[in-house]
Amino acid sequence: MLPSPQLNAVLPRLTTIIIEGTGFRSIRTEFAQDPLSAIGSFICGGRYNLKEQFEALYLADSELTANLEVRALFQISSELIQVQGPPRIMLEIEYRLESVLDLTNSAIQQALGTNLQELTGLWRPMQAENQQAPTQLLGAAAYNIQTIEALKVPSAVALEENPQAYNLVIFPDRLKPNSFVRPI
């Protein structure tokens, strides 16, 4: 990954895409009254956002990807913890986003000095040591330039099932007037 000053210089020059479709989100039933809340990512952080810096709404491209992403939260050293999590519901989310940086595109990866391995690598151990993971550095830089609404990113957990699997990391407070994210 390029260092922050170089990221800040390169990101505004990259081409973004318009993307629309249906995404999926698995949430705990207790949060069903506010299905588009991204407060959890703000409190806990995520692959593309540091905790307590900004909200990021994570959507998956399919129900399978969403389920695999949730399963990864309970996975340690490829052994699943044999404890049932709280009940969850799967939501279909319709979206239209006008300014998405496509990190699944190898040319974009190259311009940012990154690769699939870095984008899908471990980030939690770094966060646990109060270090910024490369993906969090990239997410913060993209968020801070204020013109990018979302990142299209490779799914770190669904690659074996589907090499084309992806997630959207949406910055809810950066949506443009003609963009939307809403439950179906």
The pTM score is 0.91
Provide the number of structural domains found in the chain. Answer: 1
Burial class (CB in 10 A: 0-12, 13-18, 19+), 154: middle
pLDDT the model gives residue 88: 87
Interval 115-130: pLDDT, tens: 999 999 999 899 889 9
pLDDT band at 109 (very low <50, low <70, confident <90, very high): very high
- Distance, in Å, from the CA atom of 30 to the CA atom of 27, rounded to the nearest integer, reads 8
Amino acid in position 25: R
The predicted-structure confidence for 39-81, as pLDDT tens digits, reads as follows 888 998 999 999 999 999 999 999 999 988 887 766 544 444 4
| Enclosing domain of residue 93 | 4-183
